[in-house]
Amino acid sequence: MDDPNLHKNKIFQKRLSERQKLVKQLLSHGHIKSDIVKHAMEKVPREEFLPLEQKPYAYSDRPLPIGKGQTISAPHMVAIICESLSLKEGMKVLEIGTGFGYNAAVVAEVIGETGKLYSIERVESLHNIAKETLIRTGYSNVNLVLGDGTLGIPEAAPFDRIYLTAAAPYVPETLKNQLNAGGKILAPVGEIDLYQELILMEKISDNEFKTFNLGGVAFVPLIGEHGW
């Protein structure tokens, strides 16, 4: 029988030089700042998290379509998300918008085996593909949930970090309530289909937040009770 570890190692060796070249570019542009994010992005094979026809473009720094009208974020955006959340080993994190699971795999790599990642997706076919891919690439410890991410996961709260990979009209209160004191939430906030600003909020106490605007971005819309 095939050794599953050998199979996984083969996946991580494939296209390694292309991945290293992209990471170098993200470092020189200042998107990657820490060793922990550098190592994670050097490791996770983006091509595994793409539909067949998009695999050739896995290491160009741009968003790519994954079907159902959805796109996965460009690698520089994944780096910005990880760095601006100051993710650390062992953190408990919630992602809204699993897509094909690439961003989730990078975050899982950053927070390590002592960390806990939950990710919610509303489109069932994407949720199923992400599940299969994360297991195949060795990230079977990511907890994937099918449903409306704007409601969060009350039974798994509180989280150290929450991030939305779809654009919201405002940062949902439900999600802010599921953060630990000292926790951070990151969300693209603004107009549907046009332009948003990446908003980072740090929870100082139960109803006190510090807000930072990290600049203009473009994400697919967040569809749900506290979305569009």
Active-site residue identified among 17, 28, 34, 73: 73
Q: Does 120 bind ligand SAH (CB under 6 A)?
A: yes
| Rounded-to-integer distance, Cα 31 and Cα 74, Å | 11
Name which of 183 and 227 has its Cβ closer to ligand SAH.
227
Name which of 101 and 183 has its Cβ closer to ligand SAH.
101
| Rounded-to-integer distance, Cα 73 and Cα 98, Å | 11
Name which of 138 and 227 has its Cβ closer to ligand SAH.
227
Say whether the peptide bond before residue 45 is cis (omega within 30 degrees of 0): no
| Rounded-to-integer distance, Cα 202 and Cα 60, Å | 32
Q: How far is the CB of 211 from ligand SAH (least distance, A)?
A: 22
Q: Does 97 bind ligand SAH (CB under 6 A)?
A: yes
Q: Is 86 a catalytic residue?
A: no
Q: Does 103 bind ligand SAH (CB under 6 A)?
A: yes
Q: Does 142 bind ligand SAH (CB under 6 A)?
A: no
Q: Does 131 bind ligand SAH (CB under 6 A)?
A: no
Q: How far is the CB of 188 from ligand SAH (least distance, A)?
A: 10
Q: Does 45 bind ligand SAH (CB under 6 A)?
A: no
Say how many residues touch ligand SAH, by CB under 6 A: 24
- Retrieve residue 46's tokens: 């983006």
Q: Does 227 bind ligand SAH (CB under 6 A)?
A: yes
Q: Does 220 bind ligand SAH (CB under 6 A)?
A: yes
Binding mask 143-182 for ligand SAH (x = CB under 6 A): -----xxx--------------xx----------------
Q: Does 183 bind ligand SAH (CB under 6 A)?
A: no
Name which of 172 and 183 has its Cβ closer to ligand SAH.
172
Angle (CA) 177-183-187 rounded to 5° is 75
| Rounded-to-integer distance, Cα 134 and Cα 151, Å | 23
Which active-site residues does the annotation give? 73
Residues that bind ligand SAH (CB under 6 A): 70, 72-73, 96-99, 102-103, 120-123, 126, 148-150, 165-166, 220, 222-224, 227
